[in-house]
Amino acid sequence: MQARRYTACIESEKFNGKTHDMGFKIYCSFGNGYRLTHDEAYRDVMLQAAATLATRFSPDVGAIRSWDHNTDKWQYPVIIDNMMNLELLFWAARASGDSIYYKIAVSHADKTLANHFRPDASVCHVVDYDPETGAVAHRHTHQGYAHESTWARGEAWALYGYTMCYRETGEERYLKQAQRIADFIFAHPRLPEDLVPYWDYDAPGIPDEPRDVSAAAVTASALYELAEYDVGAGELHRSRADRILSALTGSYRARAGEARGFLLLHSTGSKPHDSEVDVPLVYADYYFLEALLRRERFETTGSALSGV
Amino acid at 30: F
What positions carry a catalytic annotation? 21, 81
* pLDDT beneath 50, residues of the chain: none
| pLDDT value of residue 11 | 96
What is the spatial distance between Cα 262 and Cα 281, in angstroms, rounded to a whole number? Answer: 8
Contact by Cβ (8 Å): 79, 67: yes
Contact by Cβ (8 Å): 219, 237: no
- Of the candidates 241, 215, 214, 244, the residue with the CA atom closest to the CA atom of residue 230: 241
Return the bridge partners of 277, or none: 268
Q: What is the 3-state secondary structure (H, E, C) of 254-298?
A: CCCCCHHHCCECCEEEEHHHCEEEEECCHHHHHHHHHHHHHHHHH
| pLDDT value of residue 3 | 92
91 to 39, 55, 60, 101: CA distances (angstroms): 16, 17, 24, 8
- Report DSSP letters for 124-143, one per residue: -SEEEE-TTT--EEEEE-SS
Q: What CATH class has 152-308?
A: mainly alpha
Average pLDDT of the residues of the chain: 97
| pLDDT value of residue 1 | 84
Q: What is the pTM of this model?
A: 0.97
> pLDDT (tens digit, 9 = 90+) per residue, 56-74?
999 999 999 999 999 999 9
| pLDDT value of residue 308 | 56
